[in-house]
Amino acid sequence: MALVKPHGKMKKLMPLLLQGPALEKELNKATKLKQVRITSRETSDLVMLGIGAFTPLKGFMGKADWKGVCDRYKLADGTFWPIPITLSTTKEVADTIKKGEDVTLVDDETGEVMATMKVNEKYGIDKTHECKQVYQTTDLEHPGVKKVMEQGDVNLAGPVKVLSEAHYPESHKDLYMTPADTRKQFEEKGWSTIAAFQTRNPMHRSHEFLSKIAIETMDGVFIHQILGKLKEGDIPADTRAKAINTLMDNYFVKDTAIQGGYPMEMRYGGPREALLHAVFRQNFGCSHLIVGRDHAGVGDFYGPFDAQKIFDEIPANALETKPLKIDHTFYCFKCDGMASMRTCPHSKEDRLMLSGTKLRKMLSEGEDVPDHFSRPEVLAILKEYYAGLSEKVEIKMHKHMEG
């Protein structure tokens, strides 16, 4: 059996990153063009475009694509897409750019030249509409909403030529992988059914259990963690990677799991972001996406299983990558092992409910972590990380995590 085909009508990866002489030529051209400063989120989206993870997008979305994605989960050409991928600037900057003009996109924090773009369109959007449609809220406490509301007033749209992968290949050498890399690895292993496990946390026992459910029925699991900026209180990628490698070395059968990372920033978009996770996992070659409780959620903005339900609301042919939906998982003292709501008949009092937020809260406050919450080797790494922090970050529990 072959791997799932990349997303879109062409069924092939469409990386936009230039290399060799074409890269040198475009870098030289970029020095002579008008510069547009871009945010870290836009930079990470550019890298995703560059490596082909956002296949079949050719650049940042125009108004018809933006509206279609917000309202109907579709690009203007009918291709399924769940979250707008846009670039914004101020009205002052936009007024200096002519339609059809090439500009250079420069990371606002590092000053690095990231790409060139042909500006085919300049348009304004109703930010409140985007937030309501995509995030189901306009509350500025939601980090995804906050980012949209902070965007410039004018969106610039057009095809891009990506000139850099930013810091990711260097700062995450052992984790960072392109869709071409993962597809090659899967093919070398003879895998065709692969479940992606999305994470922004080190893996506790519940995560381990979810991954092993996938391994029971598929060729392997791809533990795929986010490498872009996170919200305050989240654990950085290098600590997560160390903890996950330790878990894999001690508790997984060799060659049943691969760990990798991707260069995106979380939007914390709950159901819509779960769909985006499935879209780009299809490009990475994964046949399934594990969707557990509160996938890509934040605070109390989404119900614990909203991200599972949304897959039933989209057309059956929208995605080749399918959800692997798994109920609440926990340690049950009466079952004497990991279980889920579907397999454990016992009461709430017999269960140790597990969550990454809960674990971070306990560790950040120096509390003892109960037995069966996390593997001891993983806890040792996380305790060392928290002991080294100079400032304590307050971590809020949301209602459906408190179990």
Verdict on whether the full-model pTM lies above 0.85 = yes
Least-confidence region, from 48-52, 237-241, 357-361? 357-361
pLDDT score, position 400: 47
Q: Exactly one of 201, 267, 281, 375 is catalytic; which is it?
A: 201
pLDDT, average across residues 293-300: 90
Closest CA to 75 of 61, 55, 87: 61
Q: Residue 397 pLDDT > 60, yes or no?
A: no
List CB contacts of 287: < 8 A, sequence separation 6 or more: 3, 4, 192, 193, 194, 195, 218, 320, 321, 322
Please check whether residues 44 and 137 belong to one and the same domain: yes
pLDDT score, position 231: 72
pLDDT score, position 360: 83
Domain stop point among 146, 166, 186 = 166
Q: Exactly one of 41, 155, 183, 200 is catalytic; which is it?
A: 200
- Where does the pLDDT of residue 136 fall: very low under 50, low under 70, confident under 90, or very high at 90 and above? very high
222: helix, coil or strand?
strand
Does the active-site annotation cover 120? no
- Where does the pLDDT of residue 364 fall: very low under 50, low under 70, confident under 90, or very high at 90 and above? confident
171-221 pLDDT per residue, tens: 999 899 999 999 999 999 999 999 999 998 888 899 999 999 999 999 999
The answer to whether position 276 is within a domain reads: yes
Q: How many domains does the chain have?
A: 2
Q: Are 54 and 47 in contact (CB under 8 A)?
A: no
The answer to whether position 274 is within a domain reads: yes
Domain stop point among 166, 199, 227 = 166
198: helix, coil or strand?
strand
- Run of H or E including 385: helix 376-387
- Buried-exposed string 284-318: b where 16+ CB fall within 10 A, e elsewhere: bbbbbbbbbbbbbbbbebbebbbbbebbeeeeeeb
The answer to whether position 336 is within a domain reads: yes
- Where does the pLDDT of residue 399 fall: very low under 50, low under 70, confident under 90, or very high at 90 and above? low
Could you check whether the bond before residue 315 is cis, i.e. omega within 30 degrees of 0? no
Please check whether residues 233 and 136 belong to one and the same domain: no
Domain extent at residue 282 = 174-262+268-401
List CB contacts of 217: < 8 A, sequence separation 6 or more: 193
Share of the chain above pLDDT 70, in %: 97
CATH number for the domain including 46? 3.10.400.10
Q: What average pLDDT is seen over the chain?
A: 94
pLDDT score, position 201: 85
